[in-house]
Protein backbone atom coordinates (compact mmCIF):
# COMPACT_ATOMS: atom_id res chain seq x y z
CA UNK A 1 0.00 0.00 0.00
CA UNK A 2 2.76 2.36 1.00
CA UNK A 3 4.86 1.39 -2.01
CA UNK A 4 1.92 1.87 -4.32
CA UNK A 5 1.18 5.47 -3.29
CA UNK A 6 4.82 6.50 -2.78
CA UNK A 7 6.85 4.50 -5.25
CA UNK A 8 10.33 5.12 -3.91
CA UNK A 9 13.01 3.60 -6.04
CA UNK A 10 15.46 2.33 -3.47
CA UNK A 11 16.32 2.01 0.18
CA UNK A 12 18.69 4.97 -0.12
CA UNK A 13 15.83 7.17 -1.34
CA UNK A 14 13.74 6.15 1.66
CA UNK A 15 16.64 6.97 3.99
CA UNK A 16 17.12 10.34 2.28
CA UNK A 17 13.42 11.09 2.57
CA UNK A 18 13.43 10.26 6.27
CA UNK A 19 16.50 12.39 6.90
CA UNK A 20 14.98 15.38 5.11
CA UNK A 21 11.62 15.02 6.84
CA UNK A 22 13.17 14.59 10.28
CA UNK A 23 15.49 17.57 9.70
CA UNK A 24 12.55 19.75 8.71
CA UNK A 25 10.50 18.60 11.70
CA UNK A 26 13.41 19.33 14.06
CA UNK A 27 14.04 22.70 12.41
CA UNK A 28 10.46 23.86 12.67
CA UNK A 29 10.08 22.47 16.17
CA UNK A 30 13.21 24.19 17.50
CA UNK A 31 12.97 27.48 15.65
CA UNK A 32 9.21 27.93 15.30
CA UNK A 33 6.94 25.77 17.41
CA UNK A 34 8.88 25.91 20.68
CA UNK A 35 9.55 29.70 20.52
CA UNK A 36 5.88 30.32 19.69
CA UNK A 37 4.87 28.13 22.62
CA UNK A 38 7.26 29.97 24.95
CA UNK A 39 5.95 33.33 23.75
CA UNK A 40 2.34 32.19 24.20
CA UNK A 41 3.05 31.09 27.77
CA UNK A 42 4.97 34.32 28.35
CA UNK A 43 1.99 36.39 27.24
CA UNK A 44 0.31 35.44 30.53
CA UNK A 45 3.28 36.57 32.60
CA UNK A 46 5.22 39.62 33.67
CA UNK A 47 8.32 38.53 31.79
CA UNK A 48 11.79 40.00 31.40
CA UNK A 49 14.23 37.27 30.29
CA UNK A 50 17.20 39.58 30.85
CA UNK A 51 16.53 40.14 34.54
CA UNK A 52 14.95 36.72 35.03
CA UNK A 53 11.50 38.10 36.01
CA UNK A 54 8.63 35.68 35.26
CA UNK A 55 5.46 36.20 37.31
CA UNK A 56 2.01 34.88 36.38
CA UNK A 57 -0.50 37.63 35.53
CA UNK A 58 -3.37 35.70 33.97
CA UNK A 59 -5.13 37.70 31.26
CA UNK A 60 -3.85 41.08 32.44
CA UNK A 61 -1.52 41.60 29.47
CA UNK A 62 -4.38 40.94 27.04
CA UNK A 63 -6.71 43.25 28.97
CA UNK A 64 -4.01 45.95 28.91
CA UNK A 65 -3.59 45.50 25.15
CA UNK A 66 -7.27 46.02 24.38
CA UNK A 67 -7.63 48.92 26.82
CA UNK A 68 -4.58 50.74 25.44
CA UNK A 69 -5.33 53.79 23.30
CA UNK A 70 -1.94 53.44 21.65
CA UNK A 71 -2.81 49.90 20.52
CA UNK A 72 -5.95 51.10 18.71
CA UNK A 73 -4.11 54.10 17.23
CA UNK A 74 -1.43 51.79 15.93
CA UNK A 75 -4.01 49.34 14.55
CA UNK A 76 -5.68 52.16 12.62
CA UNK A 77 -2.28 53.31 11.33
CA UNK A 78 -1.44 49.73 10.35
CA UNK A 79 -4.73 49.41 8.48
CA UNK A 80 -4.20 52.67 6.57
CA UNK A 81 -0.55 51.81 5.90
CA UNK A 82 -1.33 48.28 4.67
CA UNK A 83 -4.30 49.18 2.48
CA UNK A 84 -2.58 52.11 0.76
CA UNK A 85 0.75 50.36 0.25
CA UNK A 86 -0.87 47.14 -1.01
CA UNK A 87 -3.11 49.02 -3.46
CA UNK A 88 -0.11 50.85 -4.92
CA UNK A 89 2.08 47.78 -4.83
CA UNK A 90 -0.45 45.72 -6.76
CA UNK A 91 -1.47 48.57 -9.09
CA UNK A 92 2.06 49.68 -9.95
CA UNK A 93 3.31 46.11 -10.07
CA UNK A 94 0.62 45.01 -12.48
CA UNK A 95 0.82 48.13 -14.62
CA UNK A 96 4.58 48.09 -15.00
CA UNK A 97 4.73 44.32 -15.47
CA UNK A 98 2.14 44.58 -18.22
CA UNK A 99 4.06 47.42 -19.84
CA UNK A 100 7.32 45.47 -19.78
CA UNK A 101 5.47 42.38 -21.04
CA UNK A 102 4.28 44.39 -24.05
CA UNK A 103 6.02 43.61 -27.32
CA UNK A 104 6.74 47.33 -27.70
CA UNK A 105 9.29 47.34 -24.87
CA UNK A 106 12.89 46.33 -25.44
CA UNK A 107 15.48 45.45 -22.78
CA UNK A 108 12.88 43.61 -20.67
CA UNK A 109 15.53 42.00 -18.41
CA UNK A 110 17.07 45.39 -17.72
CA UNK A 111 13.79 46.95 -16.61
CA UNK A 112 12.90 43.90 -14.54
CA UNK A 113 16.29 44.13 -12.80
CA UNK A 114 15.95 47.88 -12.21
CA UNK A 115 12.53 47.56 -10.61
CA UNK A 116 13.67 44.63 -8.49
CA UNK A 117 16.80 46.37 -7.16
CA UNK A 118 15.07 48.21 -4.30
CA UNK A 119 13.48 44.93 -3.23
CA UNK A 120 16.84 43.26 -2.65
CA UNK A 121 18.35 46.32 -0.98
CA UNK A 122 18.05 46.07 2.82
CA UNK A 123 15.17 48.04 4.32
CA UNK A 124 17.56 49.60 6.87
CA UNK A 125 19.71 51.14 4.14
CA UNK A 126 16.74 52.31 2.08
CA UNK A 127 15.07 53.87 5.13
CA UNK A 128 18.25 55.79 6.04
CA UNK A 129 18.66 57.10 2.49
CA UNK A 130 15.01 58.17 2.28
CA UNK A 131 15.23 59.77 5.71
CA UNK A 132 18.08 61.88 4.38
CA UNK A 133 16.07 62.70 1.25
CA UNK A 134 13.18 63.88 3.43
CA UNK A 135 15.42 66.22 5.49
CA UNK A 136 13.71 69.62 5.54
CA UNK A 137 16.94 71.61 5.03
CA UNK A 138 19.20 69.49 2.84
CA UNK A 139 16.89 66.75 1.57
CA UNK A 140 16.62 66.31 -2.19
CA UNK A 141 12.84 66.04 -2.17
CA UNK A 142 12.27 69.57 -0.88
CA UNK A 143 15.05 70.91 -3.09
CA UNK A 144 13.76 69.27 -6.28
CA UNK A 145 10.14 70.26 -5.76
CA UNK A 146 10.89 73.62 -4.13
CA UNK A 147 9.00 72.68 -0.97
CA UNK A 148 9.51 73.54 2.68
CA UNK A 149 7.99 70.54 4.44
CA UNK A 150 9.30 68.70 7.49
CA UNK A 151 8.06 65.43 6.00
CA UNK A 152 8.82 63.06 8.86
CA UNK A 153 7.83 65.36 11.73
CA UNK A 154 4.61 66.77 10.34
CA UNK A 155 1.64 64.70 11.55
CA UNK A 156 -0.07 65.20 8.19
CA UNK A 157 2.84 63.89 6.11
CA UNK A 158 4.85 61.55 8.35
CA UNK A 159 2.92 58.32 7.67
CA UNK A 160 2.47 59.30 4.04
CA UNK A 161 6.22 59.77 3.68
CA UNK A 162 6.90 56.33 5.14
CA UNK A 163 4.27 54.80 2.85
CA UNK A 164 5.82 56.40 -0.26
CA UNK A 165 9.21 54.98 0.67
CA UNK A 166 7.72 51.53 1.29
CA UNK A 167 5.85 51.54 -2.01
CA UNK A 168 9.05 52.55 -3.85
CA UNK A 169 10.99 49.78 -2.17
CA UNK A 170 8.42 47.02 -2.54
CA UNK A 171 6.50 47.37 -5.79
CA UNK A 172 9.30 45.67 -7.75
CA UNK A 173 8.35 42.43 -6.03
CA UNK A 174 4.87 42.64 -7.56
CA UNK A 175 6.40 43.49 -10.96
CA UNK A 176 8.44 40.30 -10.96
CA UNK A 177 5.53 38.21 -9.69
CA UNK A 178 3.16 39.57 -12.30
CA UNK A 179 5.71 39.10 -15.07
CA UNK A 180 6.01 35.46 -14.09
CA UNK A 181 2.22 35.26 -14.17
CA UNK A 182 1.99 36.97 -17.57
CA UNK A 183 4.58 34.69 -19.16
CA UNK A 184 2.67 31.64 -17.96
CA UNK A 185 -0.68 32.74 -19.41
CA UNK A 186 -2.18 30.27 -21.93
CA UNK A 187 -1.48 31.76 -25.36
CA UNK A 188 -4.53 30.06 -26.89
CA UNK A 189 -6.87 32.16 -24.71
CA UNK A 190 -5.15 35.38 -25.80
CA UNK A 191 -5.16 34.33 -29.45
CA UNK A 192 -8.84 33.37 -29.24
CA UNK A 193 -9.64 36.84 -27.87
CA UNK A 194 -7.72 38.38 -30.75
CA UNK A 195 -9.61 36.26 -33.28
CA UNK A 196 -12.91 37.30 -31.67
CA UNK A 197 -11.96 40.97 -32.22
CA UNK A 198 -11.22 41.99 -28.63
CA UNK A 199 -9.18 45.19 -28.34
CA UNK A 200 -6.21 45.56 -26.00
CA UNK A 201 -8.27 46.85 -23.07
CA UNK A 202 -10.92 44.12 -23.48
CA UNK A 203 -8.22 41.46 -23.65
CA UNK A 204 -6.62 42.81 -20.48
CA UNK A 205 -9.92 43.30 -18.63
CA UNK A 206 -11.65 40.04 -19.53
CA UNK A 207 -8.83 37.62 -20.23
CA UNK A 208 -5.53 38.65 -18.65
CA UNK A 209 -6.79 40.06 -15.36
CA UNK A 210 -9.01 37.07 -14.45
CA UNK A 211 -6.21 34.67 -15.35
CA UNK A 212 -3.83 36.63 -13.07
CA UNK A 213 -6.21 36.37 -10.14
CA UNK A 214 -4.23 33.62 -8.32
CA UNK A 215 -1.10 35.76 -8.61
CA UNK A 216 -2.95 38.83 -7.34
CA UNK A 217 -4.22 36.82 -4.39
CA UNK A 218 -0.71 35.62 -3.65
CA UNK A 219 0.74 39.15 -3.79
CA UNK A 220 -2.05 40.56 -1.62
CA UNK A 221 -1.80 37.87 1.04
CA UNK A 222 1.99 37.99 1.28
CA UNK A 223 1.72 41.80 1.42
CA UNK A 224 -0.82 41.68 4.26
CA UNK A 225 1.45 39.38 6.25
CA UNK A 226 4.47 41.53 5.48
CA UNK A 227 2.93 44.93 6.26
CA UNK A 228 1.28 43.89 9.48
CA UNK A 229 4.84 43.06 10.58
CA UNK A 230 6.37 46.33 9.27
CA UNK A 231 8.43 48.25 11.81
CA UNK A 232 11.97 48.79 10.52
CA UNK A 233 11.05 51.84 8.45
CA UNK A 234 9.23 53.34 11.45
CA UNK A 235 12.15 52.63 13.77
CA UNK A 236 14.61 54.40 11.50
CA UNK A 237 12.55 57.19 10.00
CA UNK A 238 10.17 58.42 12.72
CA UNK A 239 10.48 56.28 15.87
CA UNK A 240 6.70 56.38 15.92
CA UNK A 241 6.60 60.19 16.01
CA UNK A 242 5.77 62.94 16.01
CA UNK A 243 4.22 61.89 19.31
CA UNK A 244 2.62 58.57 18.47
CA UNK A 245 1.38 59.57 15.01
CA UNK A 246 3.20 56.85 13.08
CA UNK A 247 3.10 53.97 15.53
CA UNK A 248 2.39 50.70 13.72
CA UNK A 249 1.31 47.55 15.54
CA UNK A 250 4.65 45.78 15.12
CA UNK A 251 6.56 48.85 16.26
CA UNK A 252 4.79 48.69 19.63
CA UNK A 253 5.91 45.08 19.94
CA UNK A 254 9.50 46.14 19.26
CA UNK A 255 9.19 49.06 21.67
CA UNK A 256 7.74 46.97 24.49
CA UNK A 257 10.10 44.00 24.02
CA UNK A 258 13.43 45.57 23.16
CA UNK A 259 13.24 49.05 24.67
CA UNK A 260 11.17 48.44 27.80
CA UNK A 261 12.00 44.70 28.11
CA UNK A 262 8.32 44.03 28.74
CA UNK A 263 8.30 40.70 26.95
CA UNK A 264 5.02 39.49 28.45
CA UNK A 265 3.03 42.43 27.13
CA UNK A 266 4.88 42.26 23.80
CA UNK A 267 4.01 38.56 23.51
CA UNK A 268 0.34 39.28 24.14
CA UNK A 269 0.47 41.94 21.41
CA UNK A 270 2.13 39.44 19.08
CA UNK A 271 -0.61 36.90 19.54
CA UNK A 272 -3.33 39.47 18.98
CA UNK A 273 -1.54 40.45 15.78
CA UNK A 274 -1.15 36.80 14.81
CA UNK A 275 -4.91 36.26 15.08
CA UNK A 276 -5.62 39.44 13.08
CA UNK A 277 -3.20 38.35 10.34
CA UNK A 278 -4.82 34.91 10.21
CA UNK A 279 -8.30 36.45 9.95
CA UNK A 280 -7.26 38.79 7.11
CA UNK A 281 -5.59 35.92 5.26
CA UNK A 282 -8.68 33.75 5.66
CA UNK A 283 -10.89 36.61 4.48
CA UNK A 284 -8.73 37.08 1.40
CA UNK A 285 -9.13 33.41 0.51
CA UNK A 286 -12.88 33.61 1.15
CA UNK A 287 -13.33 36.70 -1.02
CA UNK A 288 -11.27 35.11 -3.78
CA UNK A 289 -13.15 31.81 -3.51
CA UNK A 290 -16.62 33.41 -3.55
CA UNK A 291 -15.78 35.35 -6.71
CA UNK A 292 -14.84 32.16 -8.50
With CA atoms as reference, report the closest residue to 124 among 256, 237, 252: 237
Is the Cβ of residue 128 or residue 285 nearer to another protein in the bound state? 128
Residue 219: alpha-carbon gap to chain centroid: 9
Binding residue (CB under 8 A) for another protein from 259, 275, 279, 283: 259
Taking the least distance from each CB to another protein, the nearer of 95 and 136 is 136
When the beta carbons of 27 and 258 are compared against another protein, the nearer one is 258
Does position 147 interact with another protein (CB under 8 A)? The reply is no
Contact residue for another protein among 203, 226, 229, 244 (CB under 8 A): 244
Contacts of 215 (CB under 8 A, 6+ apart): 177, 178, 180, 181
Q: How many CB atoms lie within 10 A of CB 145?
A: 8
Distance CA(226)–CA(206), nearest Å, equals 30
Is 203 among the residues that bind another protein (CB under 8 A)? no
DSSP string, 198-237: --HHHHIIIIIHHHTHHHHHHHHHHHHHHHHT--HHHHHH
Per CB under 8 A, does 226 bind another protein? no
Measured between alpha carbons, how far apart are the two ends of the chain, in Å? 36
How far apart are the C-alpha atoms of 71 and 61, rounded to whole Å? 12
Residue 128 touching another protein (CB under 8 A): yes
Which residue number, 138 or 195, has a Cβ lying nearer to another protein?
138
C-beta of 60: minimal distance to another protein in Å? Answer: 10
Under rule CB under 8 A, residue 153 binds another protein = yes
Instruction: Write the CB contacts of 49 (distance below 8 Å, at least 6 apart in sequence).
Output: 263
Q: Which is nearer to another protein, 57 or 79 (CB)?
A: 57
From 3-11, 89-97, 176-184, 239-247, span contacting another protein (CB under 8 A): 239-247
Helix 108-120 × helix 69-101 angle, to 10°? 160
CA neighbours closer than 13 Å in the CB half-sphere of residue 128:
4
Q: Is residue 30 part of the contact set for another protein (CB under 8 A)? A: no
Under rule CB under 8 A, residue 242 binds another protein: yes
Binding residue for another protein, selected from 36, 62, 98, 150, defined by CB under 8 A: 150
51 scored as a contact of another protein (CB under 8 A) = yes
For residue 53, the minimal CB distance to another protein (Å) is 8
Smallest distance, Å, CB 123 to another protein? 8
Q: Which helix (H) or strand (E) holds 243?
A: none
Chosen residue from 37, 49, 91, 214 binding another protein by CB under 8 A: 49
Sequence-ordered list of residues with C-beta below 8 angstroms from that of 96, at least 6 positions apart, any chain: 111, 115, 171, 175
Residues forming the site for another protein (CB under 8 A): 46, 48-53, 107, 110, 113-114, 117, 120-122, 124-126, 128-129, 135-137, 148, 150, 153-155, 240-245, 258-262
Amino acid sequence: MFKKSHPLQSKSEIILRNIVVIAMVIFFTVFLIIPIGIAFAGSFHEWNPLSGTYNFLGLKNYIDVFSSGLFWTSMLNTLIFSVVVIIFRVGLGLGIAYAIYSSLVKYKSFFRAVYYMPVVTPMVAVAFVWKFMYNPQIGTINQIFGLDINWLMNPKTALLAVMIMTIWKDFGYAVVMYMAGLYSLPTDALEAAKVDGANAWQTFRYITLPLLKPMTLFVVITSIISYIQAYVQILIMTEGGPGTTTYLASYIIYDEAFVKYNFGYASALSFVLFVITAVFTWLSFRVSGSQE
